Amino acid sequence: MSSNDPQGYKKTLNSPYTGFKGWIDSRLPLVRMMEAEYLKFPVPKSLNYFWSFGGIAMFCLIGLILTGIFLGFHYKPSADEAFDSVERIMRDVNFGWLIRYLHANLVSFFFIATFIHIFRALYFGSYKAPRELVYLFGLTMFVLMMGTAFLGYTLPWGQMSYWGATVITNLFSAIPFVGDAILKLLLGDFNVGDSTINRFYVLHWLLAFAIVGLVVFHVITLHMTGSNNPTGSEPQSWDETVSFHPYVTIKDLNATIFFFIILAFVLFYYPNILGHSDNYIRANPMVTPAHIVPEWYFLPFYAILRAIPDKLGGVLAMFGSIAALGLLPWLDTSKVRSCLFRPVWRICVLLFAINFLVLMYMGGKPAEGIYVLISRIGTAYWFLFIFVLAPLVGFLETPRQPLSITNYLQSKKA
């Protein structure tokens, strides 16, 4: 298109397709976009199965929204009716038990996939330039996920729902001066009550769809830079890439099916193993259960909260632990991305993952004696890893020369 052709810009709207497909595409360029981003999109050919967990997480999200819609047809968000309506779903609604157990267990599997996905990003340096925004959108989604999961957990209105909601919303009372006012605003009451469950239900939906919106941004930013890969080296030619379809679609589908087989096993044989039996007792504002435990996926952060012997300090440490992760792209000073070529950082990252699991265990234990001590060491390592080790190791470590994608694949064959 030449500059003296005033209509020239419109030529970009001409579709390469004909017929009905072309008619749609020249008005709504979805067909072109789908082809460019999902069929022909070049992906490094050295991806391993760690790269399937983003897709798996997306399938979990779709499943949650689908089951959520069908649960919403029967659920009643009020303090008087919520518990009974959930029991009705379990007993009287056709296949209600299946849909609710799916919803409850899919959340856990969503978190499993997300934890592995985040570990992948840390281990192979996916957070480093130029993928900082991909990473930040991802972390934001993770925070929203935790919010959505928390809100959803209050909805069955069992004892754990009620007291979990009480404890977590009371975190806001730690804010100096305005804490109590914020808490009242949040609950719409002086206590977790009828107006709380009503708004939590609305927010549960709202945040779920906010996550969907962020997925779009996560993918747009990813498709600007392209996928990272185990070597951390960018593809140097088309030869080092494969097209998204069929190579990645089939591989991710394969991984998803295996992942969902495990889900099906838990779903059909141990549907309550990841939940707490106290939540089958109707919420009672007069009696707190002896041992309050959050859902398993919150435990590492719960351990951090309890590790700090100060109300405000604990809350800040807990939220700060995730916020700090967002600084990693700028705190990590190394020029090399992948841990495959960073001997010292590799150990730090693996320790971080182990530390995460240790904190998860500690979060499920009573806050006393040795458990508190270990939680404190774990919390200290979390922040040490981000604020000290990330900049320092980048300077001090001597990384190996990263292999190109082709050489990496050859070395794996040999």
Residues that bind another protein (CB under 8 A): 66, 70, 73-74, 88, 91-96, 98-99
Give yes or no for a contact between 29 and 15, defined as CB atoms under 8 angstroms apart: yes
Ramachandran quadrant class, 177 (left: phi over 0; alpha: psi -120 to 50; beta: rest):
left
Q: State the Cα–Cα distance between residues 34 and 410, nearest whole angstrom.
A: 32
Closest approach of another protein to the CB of residue 68, in Å: 12
Closest approach of another protein to the CB of residue 73, in Å: 6
For residue 33, how many other CB atoms are within 10 A of its CB?
A: 12
Task: Write the CA distances from 386 to 158, 323, 328, 373, 383, integer angstroms.
Answer: 38, 11, 6, 21, 5
For another protein, the closer CB: 62 or 181:
62
For residue 64, how many other CB atoms are within 10 A of its CB?
A: 23
Closest approach of another protein to the CB of residue 98, in Å: 5
Closest approach of another protein to the CB of residue 61, in Å: 16
Closest CA to 405 of 255, 224, 227, 248: 227
Residue 227 designated active-site:
yes
Considering the candidates 128, 251, 276, 365, report the single residue annotated as catalytic. 251
What SS3 state is found at 243?
strand
Residue 295 designated active-site:
yes
Residue 180 designated active-site:
no
Closest approach of another protein to the CB of residue 91, in Å: 7
Closest approach of another protein to the CB of residue 56, in Å: 17
Q: State the Cα–Cα distance between residues 50 and 53, nearest whole angstrom.
A: 6
For another protein, the closer CB: 25 or 252:
252
Closest approach of another protein to the CB of residue 90, in Å: 11
What SS3 state is found at 372?
helix
Residue 2 designated active-site:
no
Question: Which pair of tokens denotes residue 140?
Answer: 């934001």
For another protein, the closer CB: 5 or 92:
92
The 8-class DSSP code of residue 404 comes to: P
For another protein, the closer CB: 66 or 312:
66
Give yes or no for a contact between 349 and 123, defined as CB atoms under 8 angstroms apart: yes
Considering the candidates 252, 332, 338, 365, report the single residue annotated as catalytic. 252
Considering the candidates 46, 295, 334, 338, report the single residue annotated as catalytic. 295
For another protein, the closer CB: 98 or 174:
98
Q: Which residues, 6+ apart, have CB-to-CB distance to 128 below 8 Å?
A: 232, 329, 332, 337
Give yes or no for a contact between 228 and 329, defined as CB atoms under 8 angstroms apart: no
Provide DSSP, 46-105.
T--GGGGHHHHHHHHHHHHHHHHHHHHTT---STTTHHHHHHHHHHTSTTHHHHHHHHHH
Closest approach of another protein to the CB of residue 408, in Å: 30
In the chain the first and final C-alpha atoms are separated, in Å, by 51
Give yes or no for a contact between 276 and 160, defined as CB atoms under 8 angstroms apart: yes
What SS3 state is found at 276?
coil
Considering the candidates 74, 184, 223, 311, report the single residue annotated as catalytic. 223
For another protein, the closer CB: 103 or 342:
103
For another protein, the closer CB: 102 or 151:
102
Q: State the Cα–Cα distance between residues 212 and 246, nearest whole angstrom.
A: 24
For another protein, the closer CB: 65 or 384:
65
Which are the catalytic amino acids? 223, 227, 251-252, 295
